[in-house]
Amino acid sequence: MNNTELHDLALIKGTPLMVIDHARIRQNFQDFRRMLPRVFPYFAIKANPEVQIARTLAREGSGFDIASWEEFTILRRALQGNKSQKWRFLNSKVIYANTIKNIESLDKMREYSIPMTFDNPAELDKIAAHCNNLPLILRIDVPNHGSVVELSSKFGARYEDCQSLLKHADQLHLHVIGVSFHVGSQCEDPHNFVAAFERARQVFDDAKHAGHELSLLDIGGGFPAPYSPGIQPFAAYAAMINSLIDKYFPSDTISIVAEPGRYFVATAATSIASVIGKSIRDGKPYYYINDGVYHTFSGFIYDHIQYHFKAFHNGKAVPSVVAGPTCDALDTISRDELLPDLAIGDLVYSDYTGAYTNASASNFNGFPPAKIAHINVNN
């Protein structure tokens, strides 16, 4: 969709508006499969929980990473077909990739055979008491250096604890099938995967020595979106990961999966907002728009992402500030955007807003989240 079409769509639908292009989602999925042929993707629904996105990726053949019963419900709503087809899909293409699960979710998951992750003995005890029939994946702690959002401080078993966890699972008659790791969200250095693969291989070897034959490796997510020019292309990550697979897991008896979220959806969305106020502060133009960090641009706070804005018309561009509509000074999205002179009522747009944006938007101060328009859905 070109700029004129985006502008016209925003005039019809109203702003704030997020336009999600399903053709881009399909292309991202196909690129992933082509460049990482041994890695089966499980889309992390948390990145963008729109039912239509799950439906598009299911049709492409993707698996799904869920973090809650509620996300599982989104996937069930997205699936079409008869009951037996849905049942087969849910039991073969879903991973419950949250190491901490509430008891209510475990009770509901009991009727399925979906693998779930763990990283501590208390979680094993809880699973044994409420959902002891599901296969398990041990999540290990790996370095998160070079990632915008680190996860290792909260998740992952230390290497020295892995054998005792496997032994504890045995004592509870639980079946551990594999190992998972996550190098951190928006990983900006593909070398981050090196230490993770090395540690995973150690855990596989230690487990085999202790009598545990593991068969699955989950390499998590972290594949970055091109928010800035310095971020390496996905091809660089794929080349690194393929070489590590060949080195550490050459046997095709080991299934390798991943949990891409941001990579599939970030580049698939463009957000459009209206200028609702303007002023000059400290010599700089300030533009107040009807979207902000409590809404579509929540990733500025939660994911430390610097979003950028463009105008739909040309003119002399000067450094400007773009701020959201709420009463909080924190609601300032960018302090140095090159923009032409804008009038109240003009529209601006921001690319690459499809990941962790509408997923965490609120209605702070009563301002509603952006409307969503899906294009190129191919129903």
- Write the pLDDT tens digit of every residue in 313-329: 999 999 999 999 999 99
Window from 38-42, 48-52, 123-127, 304-308 with minimum mean pLDDT: 304-308
d(CA 82, CA 145): 45
CB 355 within 8 A of CB 185: no
* 156, 302: one domain: no
* 32, 75: one domain: yes
* 202, 301: one domain: no
How many structural domains does the chain have?
2
Element (H, E) at 179: strand 176-180
Look at residues 203, 233, 266 and tell me which one is the last residue of a structural domain. 266
* 97, 245: one domain: yes
Residue from 218, 128, 206, 116 nearest 174 by CA: 128
Per-residue pLDDT at 149 exceeds 70: no
Q: Look at 149 and 126; give whichever has higher pLDDT.
A: 126
Q: What is the CATH number of the domain that holds 301?
A: 2.40.37.10
d(CA 86, CA 96): 17
Q: Are strands 310-311 and 347-351 parallel, antiparallel or unpaired?
A: antiparallel
State the pTM of this model: 0.94
Question: What are the pLDDT digits (tens) for 57-99?
Answer: 999 999 999 999 999 999 999 998 778 888 899 989 999 999 9
* 181, 238: one domain: yes
131 as an active site residue: the answer is no
* 35, 106: one domain: yes
Cβ atoms within 10 A of the Cβ of 248, count?
18
* 140, 278: one domain: no
Look at residues 231, 266, 301 and tell me which one is the last residue of a structural domain. 266
* 250, 280: one domain: no
Q: Look at 302 and 207; give whichever has higher pLDDT.
A: 207
Question: What are the pLDDT digits (tens) for 151-192?
Answer: 677 788 999 999 999 999 999 999 999 999 999 888 888 888
pLDDT at res. 155: 81
Task: Let me know the angle formed at the C-alpha of 335 by 329 and 337, rounded to the nearest 5 degrees.
Answer: 140
pLDDT at res. 111: 92
Q: What is the CATH number of the domain that holds 115?
A: 3.20.20.10
Q: What percent of the chain has pLDDT over 70?
A: 98
* 157, 111: one domain: yes
Average pLDDT over residues 7-24: 97
Element (H, E) at 286: strand 284-289
Full domain range(s) for residue 320:
3-17+270-375
d(CA 197, CA 260): 17
pLDDT at res. 151: 65
Cis upstream peptide for 233 (omega within 30°): no
* 58, 198: one domain: yes
CB 136 within 8 A of CB 174: yes
* 227, 248: one domain: yes
* 200, 224: one domain: yes
